[in-house]
Amino acid sequence: MNQGRGARDEGRGRSNGLRDFPRPSSVVPRLSPGFTLIELLVVMSIIAVLLTIALPRYFHSTDKAREAVLKQDLSQMRIAIDQYHADRGKYPDRLEDLVAHKYLRKIPPDPITESTTTWIAVSPSDTSLGQIYDIKSGAPGTGMDGKRYSDW
């Protein structure tokens, strides 16, 4: 009686008694560790759907934030103009006077136009009291509330 592998193989029709050796790795087909085209297309379509939902919300929130900053900047500059008038008995002639006399640290840029030169100065009816009674935004367009930026 043969021992080992040859004895077991005799019942299967092998008559040569040779031992089975593993196949060389070049003969065994290997799967590549990449993704299929279908998998990539599915992932890309999921990302596209998520972006169509997320991007409008992102842009809406940035517009909303800019409008909030505009309202805050207008409020701070109007308070500074009123304090200037209360302290000096007249309104400032230029916005730079508010910075020069330390009522503002700097003139804030209009968050809609991103410029410090687009502010619109409103003069009082009696210009002997100064040149800037109120300040408005020079940004074109309307806010989310339907009012023009220049009317805020």
- Contact yes or no for 69/80 (Cβ under 8 A): no
- The DSSP call for residue 130 is -
pLDDT computed for residue 22 by the predictor = 63
pLDDT per residue as tens digits for the range 96-151: 999 999 999 999 999 999 999 999 999 998 888 899 999 999 999 999 999 999 99
Task: Assess if residue 59 is contained within a domain.
Answer: yes
Domain range for 78 is: 36-140
pTM: 0.65
Task: Assess if residue 27 is contained within a domain.
Answer: no
Average pLDDT over residues 53-66: 89
Average pLDDT, the chain: 86
- The distance of Cα 150 from the centroid of its chain, to the nearest Å, equals 26
| Residues paired with residue 115 on neighbouring β-strands, in sequence order | 110
Confidence of residue 34 (pLDDT cuts 50, 70, 90): confident
The domain tally of the chain equals: 1
Residue with the two structure tokens 């060389």: 24
| Residues paired with residue 135 on neighbouring β-strands, in sequence order | 121
